[in-house]
Copies of this chain bind each other. A is one copy, B any other.
Amino acid sequence: MILPLRLIPRVAAAAARLTPAASCAPTLLPPRRARLLPALAMAAAAYSAGSGVGRRLLFRQLFEAESSTYTYLLADVADPDKPAVLIDPVDRTVDRDLNLIKELGLKLVYAMNTHVHADHITGTGLLKAKLPGVKSVISKASGAKADHFVDHGDKIHFGNLFLEVRATPGHTAGCVTYVTGDADGQPSPRMAFTGDALLIRACGRTDFQGGSPDQLYESVHSQASMQNLIFTLPKDTLLYPAHDYKGFTVSTVEEEVAYNARLTKDKETFKGIMDNLNLRYPKMIDVAVPANLVCGIQDPPPKI
């Protein structure tokens, strides 16, 4: 491999040679004026690929195709340690994720799960085995084994960035949503990692692992409580789910409030939908859930 330290000056020198190519070249005409849909006019101005925090947050969305799972890598690259967290890692993609973390010069601190997954085996155990010092994180309410247990309102710091923990049960009894901090220097717009509580235009099933459509509805809407859960976050908050099956990568609070196929309904209609999904028994559940209750695998043997 060519050493980046040798390459960086070369790239910088090349960049310095940039000329505004073809500034006098022909251009395609700008579009004609159009009739506008009113939808999302306000919040659209806040949409972006995320990370409005300038150059502090490194953010990568990673996909595992067999279970359609998204794993999220966040790091504070303005901190000399470049401390990083992985949200919802998958066992079969741990080596890919570790190689990327190494290439980017990050220090993985926490391997976090939003809940005990039923459709894939978490990568946290393998990450701990392959990268000693990494700590696993999951909610206390999940009943799973981990190095750190979190409750609603806890904060998870990495460098000068932090994630806030929101209890969002309903898909499982222990589901949490991790939300970027509400403070100066934190990402703007905010980013919420919703696990299976809220999927893009959909939501996780509620028929096993202590699931409850009633509870999920409250977790997402929750306008009455003082808890800032999902739909009560700022409308430009970027929503990153644990899965997508249609090729979407991100949504926003305003978009889901307007267009979520289930959660825009009233609570009774929502419960009716969820109680009549008639989904097949998850093929991985009998393997995944017991494994995920112990970080995917048993802890590595203690170092001698």
Contact = CB atoms under 8 A, between A and B. Distances in A.
A153 interface: yes
B7 A254 contact: yes
Nearest to A96: B246
A17 to B, nearest CB: 7
Contacts of A100: 248
Nearest to A27: B155
A277 interface: no
Interface stretch (A114-122, A205-213, A257-265, A289-297): A257-265
**Residues of A in contact with B, size category:** 35 or more
Contacts of A29: 157
A8 B234 CA distance: 10
A65 interface: yes
Nearest to A15: B234
Contacts of A231: 11, 14
A215 interface: no
Interface in A59-74: 59-65
Contacts of A152: 21-22
B51 A151 contact: no
- Taking chain A's interface residues, is the majority helix, strand, or loop, or is none over half, making it mixed? loop
Nearest to A22: B153
A37 B223 CA distance: 46
**How many monomers of this protein are in the complex?**
2
A41 interface: yes
A156 B61 CA distance: 28
A247 interface: yes
A82 interface: yes
A22 B232 contact: no
A93 B247 contact: yes
Given A22-B155, A31-B107, 9 more contacts: A4-B40, A14-B223, A15-B233, A21-B227, A28-B110, A47-B104, A48-B51, A48-B55, A52-B54
Interface of A: 1-5, 7-8, 10-12, 14-15, 17-22, 25-34, 36-55, 57-65, 77-78, 80-83, 93, 96, 100, 102-105, 107, 109-110, 133, 135, 137, 148, 150-159, 162, 164, 166, 182-183, 223, 226-228, 231-235, 246-250, 253-255, 257-259, 264
- Ordered nearest first, which 10 A-B pairs have the shortest CB separation? A22-B153, A49-B50, A48-B51, A63-B247, A37-B105, A25-B153, A34-B107, A31-B109, A14-B232, A31-B83
